[in-house]
Amino acid sequence: MASSCRLAGLVLLLVAALASTLPAACRAQLQVGFYDTRCPNAELLVRQAVTAAVANNSGLAAGLVRLHFHDCFVRGCDASVLLITNGTAERDAPPNFPSLRGFEVIDAAKAAIERSCPRTVSCADILAFAARDAVALSGNVTYKVPAGRRDGNISIDTDTFTNLPGPNSTATELIENFARKNLNAEEMVILSGAHSIGRSNCTSFFERNRERLASGTISSAYQALLEVLCSPPVRTADMDVSTPTVLDNNYYKLLPLKLGLFFSDDQLIRNNTLVPLVNAFAANETLWKERFTAAMIKMGNIEVLTENAGNIRLNCNVLNTRSSSSAEMIETLFPAAGDEVAAT
């Protein structure tokens, strides 16, 4: 299907038609095993980079899961979160800077992949694979990642404010925020379980939790611990006070004990629609993991670019130059894989 689309695009170009009316079939879906023929080692190379990085710093597993989430919620899963422009990109905005981490892991994976198969694997797909591998390492559960995303080339800091939920969000705001990304309330609760790993800067919860203490929605012992953890020089706290490096369902068990770190986490047990979901995931880890992997796949589908709607960045941090773009264009018109042309 991909090859006939490409050929259709070529014909359109040759007759100098404006490629605005490509057949519907060409709006390609993501596919599991997308790189099996194009770059058979792609997923292995990502896994190696992630495994090495997490062995050195276990916190990077959390960083990589969040990196994919923050990519997907802002302009879709298009690696816009990785772009470095002039200080006004997504990664420079307060929801991302300085807390977002794992960029160097993606760069290492991309470098290994470019050496093995140049101009073939998008940064957006590398982010999705890396998040999956981070989940596998921290949660002992895995899933197949549909691929074929392409990279976008727009990254604007202020987009993060309107698209990413914040730690002060109410249940209603969280539900609405996820709904805008085609994720329902249950999927919002399921994906929030990612807060079972990683850490948070104290600035993200400190002031608000003093108010929660006053209203009795945070354990006073927990708040006392956080006050200690957040006194200089330490400025971060684990998200899950019980098993901070293991991706498990303890997140849901902590909430009814008033041990949720953020106001937004606590909101999941303050809404009658959401409480039964929290209880179900607290009671059954297998159920949560099943739903979590499915929700990660769905999140990885948000507003993806495929085929000619995006490109394959050679360096995940910068837009392709004119020369790299034209070389890429030649490759798109005359694909190296001869069987693709033959198949049509």
Residue with tokens 């108010």: 211
78 labelled binding-site residue: yes
* DSSP per position, 330-341: HHHHS-S-HHHH
Residue pair 313/151 in contact (Cβ under 8 Å)? The answer is: yes
192 annotated among ligand-binding-site residues: no
In the bound complex, what is the minimum distance in angstroms from residue 18's beta carbon to ligand NAG? Answer: 14
Applying CB under 6 A, the span of 36-44, 63-71, 160-168, 293-301 interacting with ligand NAG comes to 160-168
Contact residue for ligand NAG among 201, 301, 315, 332 (CB under 6 A): 201
Q: Residues 6 or more apart from 251 whose CB is under 8 A from it?
A: 192, 193, 195, 196, 239, 240, 260, 265
Q: Is 11 in the site for ligand NAG (CB under 6 A)?
A: no
E-only strand ranges, the chain = 199-201, 236-238
Q: Which is nearer to ligand HEM, 247 or 312 (CB)?
A: 247
CA–CA separation, 18 vs 292, rounded Å? 42
Burial class (CB in 10 A: 0-12, 13-18, 19+), 63: buried
**Contact letters for ligand HEM, residues 255-274 (x by CB under 6 A):** ---------x----------
User: Which residue numbers are catalytic?
Assistant: 70
Q: Which of 184, 220, 231, 273 binds ligand NAG (CB under 6 A)?
A: 273
Q: Residue 231 interacts with ligand NAG (CB under 6 A)?
A: no
Q: Is beta strand 199-201 parallel, antiparallel or unpaired with respect to 236-238?
A: antiparallel
Q: Is 245 in the site for ligand NAG (CB under 6 A)?
A: no
Q: Which is nearer to ligand HEM, 127 or 191 (CB)?
A: 191
Q: Which span (47-55, 56-64, 112-120, 224-232) binds ligand HEM, by CB under 6 A?
A: 56-64
Q: How far is the CB of 11 from ligand NAG (least distance, A)?
A: 19
Count of residues that bind ligand HEM according to CB under 6 A: 26
Q: How far is the CB of 40 from ligand NAG (least distance, A)?
A: 25
Which of 203, 220, 231, 344 is in the footprint of ligand NAG by CB under 6 A?
203
Contact segment (CB under 6 A) with ligand NAG among 8-16, 19-27, 62-70, 266-274 equals 266-274
- Sign (positive or negative) of CA dihedral 316, 322, 323, 329: positive
**Residues 323 to 342: which contact ligand NAG by CB under 6 A?**
325
* Closer by beta carbon to ligand HEM, 50 or else 62: 62
Instruction: Say how far apart CA 105 and CA 111 lie, in whole Å.
Output: 10
* Binding to ligand HEM in span 80-119, by CB under 6 A: 99, 101
Distances from the Cα of 66 to the Cα of 38, 127, 188, 332, angstroms: 28, 10, 14, 32
Q: How far is CA 300 from the centre of its chain?
A: 7
Q: Are 155 and 38 in contact (CB under 8 A)?
A: no
- Residue 190's binding partner, choosing from ligand HEM, ligand NAG, none, with beta-carbon cut-off 5 to 8 A by kind? none
Residue 13 has a CB neighbour count (10 Å cut-off) of: 14
Q: Is 232 annotated as a binding residue?
A: no
Query: Tokens 């994720």, residue?
Result: 183
Is 326 annotated in a binding site? The answer is no
Residues that bind ligand HEM (CB under 6 A): 59, 62-63, 65-66, 69, 99, 101, 165-167, 169, 174, 188, 191-192, 194-195, 197-201, 204, 239, 264
